[in-house]
Amino acid sequence: MKVLVVGIDGASPLLVERWIGDLPTFRRIKKEGWLGLSVPPMPAQTPVAWTTFMTGKNPGKHGVFSFITRKRGTYERQIADPRMIRSKTLWRLLGDGGKKVGLVNVPMSDVGQVRGFIVPGFLSQTEGIPHPEHVKKAIREEFGDEPLMGDVETEVLKNVNLDPDRFFERVNQITDKTAQMSQFLAQREDWDFFMTVFMGTDRVQHFFWRYVDPAHQKHEESRFTGLVKEYYVKIDGIVKEFLDLVDEETVMIVLSDHGFCPVHKELVVNNYLEALGFLETRDGKVSPEGSEAVSYGYGDIWLNIEGREPHGMVAAGEEYEATRDLIIEGLRNVRVNGEAPIKDVKRREAVYHGNQLENGPDLVAMFRQGWQAARHPEIMKQHEKPYVNGNPVWSGGHDGTHDPADVPGIAGFIGPGVPKVRGASVRLSSLAPTILQLMGVPVPDDMDDRPLQILSR
C-alpha cells in the first residue's frame, strides 16, 4: 500500500470545524474516512513535533527538544536542525525496507535521510534545493532555478504590522508554488511514500489569531478574519488536488503538527529566575556562567551543574534536586495581577524518556492559554515586577511552552479500508509506526507507540 501525507503546519481543529461548511474536502474526509485530533509532544514546536512524527519517538529518544537548546558542555545556544536527530526517521526506515520516498518542504528533513527524492524544508541546511540531480534538473526546467521558498522571508515577517497585505500575498505565493512543485513531482516521479508540508497556516495564525478566536482577550472580527478563512479554503482545495492524484491503493493522511491557542501576554522567565535568586546578570545581560539556572527562551530551564557545564555551580545529586524543587515552587507561585500564568513546571524525566534525556532541559515550564514564555533569554531592564510584555507581536501561539492538550492539531485519514471514525485523537508519535505497518515495513521495538488500527480489512 502507498501513503501520501499532506502536512499543514499549525492547522487548527477549531477553525476546521467552524468553517467545515466551506471546506468540502475536509467535509469529505470526515464523512468517508476519519477526521480527528493530533496530539503533539511538549513543547508543541515545529521542529520537535515533526521530528516526533517522523521518528515515532519522544524528544528523550530523538534528541530535538526545542527551537533553541543549550549545546552540550557549553553555554552556547543552538538552533534545531536535522543533524540533531538521533533516531532513524520514517523515510530512512522505509528506504531500508526497499520503499521509494518523496519529500517536499518537510521541516527537519534532509538529503541524507532519503532513498528517493527530496526538496528539504524548514531548518534544513539545504532548504529548498532539490535532490537528486535529475529531480533538480526537472524542477529547474519547469519552475526556474530559484530554490523553493517553503516559508515566508524574515523581512516580510518583520513588517507584518506595517504591510499585512504583502504578508498575505507572499504566504499565498509560496503556498501556490509549493503545491505546484509537489504535484509536479508526485505525478512525475515514482514513489511509495510521498509527503509535502505547507507552512502558511502557522504563520498566518501567529499574527492574526485574535481575529479568528472569540476566546482571545483582544478578539475582533475584521477583514483579516476573512483572509484567514480564505487561506483555509485554499488549503482545502489543495488537499482535493492531491486526493484527485492518488489511486485506489493509496491511503492519504492530512496532518498538522499542532494547533493554536490565544496569546496576549509574554512572561520573561529569566527575570523571575533572577528574582528568585537563581540567575545573575553582568552589565544588564544574563550570565549563564554565573547563574545557577537560566532559560534560553520558551519554557526551558537549564541548571548549571558541576562536571556538566564548564563553570558548574550546582552539585549533582541532592543539591540538584533541591534546586529544582525550589525553582518549581517559585515559578508555580508567580502571580501577575492575580493570574497564575504558569500552569505547571515539570522535571524533564516526567516529560521525556530515552537515551537522549541528558541533552534536554532540566525543567520545563508550561503556560496557560493566553500566556507564553518570552522567546528570548534577555531580561527586562526594570526593577519591579511584573516582568511581562503585554503587547506581544503574535496573538496566537503553541510553543511558548503550552500543554499539548491545549494546542491539538488535526489528523485525517481517507483511502481504501479506512473506517469511518468520529472524534478520534492520536499522538503524533503513533503515525510513523502506523505508516510502516500500512506499507509492510517492520516497526522498530523502540518506537513509543504501536500502530493505529486504521484499516478495516
What's residue 454's pLDDT? 75
> pLDDT tens digits for 317-333?
999 999 999 999 999 99
pLDDT at 457 over 70: no
- Section 274-285 average pLDDT: 95
What's residue 349's pLDDT? 98
Assigned architecture for domain 2-260+407-438: 3-Layer(aba) Sandwich (3.40)
Tell me how far CA of residue 329 lies from CA of 122, 217, 333, in angstroms. 37, 28, 6
- Section 72-98 average pLDDT: 97
pLDDT at 77 over 90: yes
Q: How confident is residue 456, by pLDDT bands cut at 50, 70 and 90?
A: low
What's residue 401's pLDDT? 86
pLDDT at 266 over 60: yes
pLDDT at 422 over 80: no
- Section 272-284 average pLDDT: 96
pLDDT at 294 over 70: yes
What's residue 453's pLDDT? 85
> pLDDT tens digits for 99-110?
999 999 999 999
> pLDDT tens digits for 423-455?
789 999 999 999 999 999 999 999 999 999 876
Looking at every residue in the chain, the average pLDDT score rounds to 96
What's residue 169's pLDDT? 98
What's residue 318's pLDDT? 98
Q: How confident is residue 382, by pLDDT bands cut at 50, 70 and 90?
A: confident
Percent of the chain residues topping a pLDDT of 90: 93
- Section 24-29 average pLDDT: 97
- Section 280-300 average pLDDT: 95
CATH 3.30.1360 domain residues, the chain: 264-389
Q: How confident is residue 199, by pLDDT bands cut at 50, 70 and 90?
A: very high
Q: How confident is residue 383, by pLDDT bands cut at 50, 70 and 90?
A: confident
What's residue 384's pLDDT? 84
- Section 117-129 average pLDDT: 96
- Section 339-363 average pLDDT: 97
What's residue 146's pLDDT? 87
- Section 390-419 average pLDDT: 93
Which fold would CATH assign to domain 264-389?
Gyrase A; domain 2 (3.30.1360)
**Report field, pTM of the whole predicted structure over 0.95:** yes
- Section 144-151 average pLDDT: 89
Asked whether 336 and 386 are in contact (CB, 8 A), the reply is: yes
CATH 3.40.720.10 domain residues, the chain: 2-260+407-438
For residues 195 and 400, which has the higher predicted lDDT (pLDDT)? Answer: 195
What's residue 455's pLDDT? 66
